[in-house]
Amino acid sequence: MKFGLLPKKKLGKIFLGLGIFLFPLFSCLYIVSIYSDGLISEKMSLLVLLIAVFSLLMLIVGIVFIIIGKDTSKKRLRWPFKIILALFAICWTVGGYTVVTLLYWSGDGFKNWLITTAMTTMNHQYFATWFYDEYDINQVLAHNYVAESGEDTDPNLIHFSEPDFNQTTFKNEYDKEVLTKEEGNDLYKIIDINRKKFKGKLAVVYDPSKVKIGVSKGIGTTLSGSYGEFITEIASRYNAVIATNAGGFYDPDWNSRGGVPHGPVISDGKLITNFKRIATGGGLVGFDQNNKLILSRMSADEAVKSGIRDAVDFGPFLIVNGKSSFVKGNGGWGDAPRTAIGQREDGIVLLLVIDGRQTGSVGADMNDLTEVMLDYGAINAVNMDGGTSSAMELNGDIITNPRNGNFAAKTRPVPNAWIVVK
């Protein structure tokens, strides 16, 4: 049946329905096109605007026809169906404009969170590039950063002491957690981390001499001939009781085999690889022959000559000599799965893994990592590789909840890992 032969009221309902569906959709898309050309090109933007205007006219005409027309049809919509249609229209309209409001008119909080979180992922940077142009993205990243002190760690600030597991008074609740030993275990303790927006695991290692770097069998400096291993595989070969991921790796297509680490990798005093650094801040992260955590900008040759026994390269440095780095905004890293390592003044090593990309634990930013490390007494601490790589293994099992870029419960092969040996 042609539109011209339909009663005005029935025709009005059709126009009204189409207008309710199309106008919020295309008006929101046009607003997005104003702020970014990543999702909608400039030429497409004009078409989107025309459809939005046309759908608005349909909406107006539909209302007019319903008011002036008479419905001669014997079939009428029942009230339950009318209610469902009305609820759909409300949710569709309110939902669309709520998203637009969050993206562009709700202040910088949501915008900063979305851009910094998306731009640090491997596969989901489009969440930022779809909705914001390059200028906005760069502006946000420029206002969220970590300003390190520029200092190297002072080993003299570490004073080893045997943990007193019989003491009854503590500095605070976190110190009590660290120094309350699990029965029959003098090597380590696993502490559950439960904060408002994230969860994770903290491995407290009482003997820092047991913390080393384990490397993949396929570690190398060329993509074609190198491959990483899962931390469970690395831990098994080294007979380690605990393992976490350590440094980052060259991953130009976000789909490499994880075998080429950025920066120097030193294991048991030997330089294993020395590929180019990545711009993450920080620098060399490792332990010297006295089992003290060293955070320094020294070269690979300087590290080997100075007696660094195990090290990788990453950053940013979060705490150096008891002083926190200045974190502007969220540090530019957003919320994601995170790994960090630190050392207390008494020599106890802290290995931290935060879960992310899931309900109940969205992930941590640089402020969050710094806060947890300070709470548990670290005087030196550094951010390690995060995202899909972040995971903690204990006696052959993964005890955290890793998530990959598609939010699946998976981790990925890595070139090296922090391991705790017996």
pLDDT digits (tens, 9 = 90+) for 111-170: 988 998 888 776 678 889 999 998 899 899 888 889 999 999 999 999 998 888 888 899
pLDDT at residue 215 above 80? yes
CA dist 207 and 178 (Å) reads: 13
pLDDT of residue 77: 57
- Band of the pLDDT at 1, cuts 50, 70, 90? very low
What token pair was written down for 168? 């009854």
Packed helices 134-142 and 108-119: angle between N→C axes, nearest 10 degrees: 100
Query: CB count, 10 Å around CB of 89?
Result: 15
DSSP-derived secondary structure for 286-305: EEETT--EEEE---HHHHHH
Q: How confident is the model at residue 177 (pLDDT cuts 50, 70, 90)?
A: very high
Phi-psi region of 268 (alpha: psi -120 to 50; beta: other; left: phi over 0): left
CA dihedral angle for residue 57, residue 58, residue 61, residue 66, rounded to 10 degrees: -150
Confidence at 74, pLDDT banded by 50, 70, 90 = low
pLDDT of residue 79 exceeding 60, the answer is: yes
At residue 377, the pLDDT reads 97
CA–chain centroid gap for 96, Å, is 26
Determine the pLDDT at residue 283: 96
pLDDT digits (tens, 9 = 90+) for 12-29: 888 888 999 999 999 999
244: left (phi over 0), alpha (psi -120 to 50) or beta: beta
> pTM of the prediction?
0.83
The number of CA neighbours under 13 Å toward the Cβ of 231 is 29
36: left (phi over 0), alpha (psi -120 to 50) or beta: beta
CA distance 118 to 290: 40
pLDDT at residue 329, as a whole number: 86
Q: What is the pLDDT of residue 72?
A: 56
Token pair, residue 174, equals 């976190």
* pLDDT tens-digit readout, 323-349: 999 888 888 888 999 999 999 999 999
The percent of residues above 70 in pLDDT, for the chain, comes to 96
Whole-number pLDDT of residue 5: 55
In this prediction, residue 384 carries a pLDDT of 97
- Contact at 8 Å (CB) between 352 and 342? yes
Mean pLDDT check: name the lowest of 6-10, 76-80, 118-122, 157-161: 76-80
**What is the model's pLDDT at position 123?**
63
3 state DSSP class of 244? strand
DSSP, collapsed to helix, strand or coil, labels residue 189 as strand
Q: How far apart are CA 292 and CA 307, in angstroms?
A: 11
* Secondary structure element (H or E) that encloses residue 134, with its range: helix 134-142
Residue 2 has pLDDT above 60, yes or no: no
pLDDT at 4 over 60: no
| 321 vs 68: which has the higher pLDDT | 321
Q: 209 burial class (0-12, 13-18, 19+ CB within 10 angstroms)? A: middle
Report the pLDDT value the prediction gives residue 11, as an integer from 0 to 100. 84
pLDDT-wise least confident of 151-160, 179-188, 237-246: 179-188
Give pLDDT tens digits for 265-307. Answer: 999 999 999 999 988 899 999 999 999 999 999 999 999 999 9
Q: What is the pLDDT of residue 361?
A: 96
The top-scoring range by mean pLDDT among 30-39, 88-97, 213-222 is 213-222
Distance in angstroms (rounded) separating the CA atoms of residues 354 and 336: 8
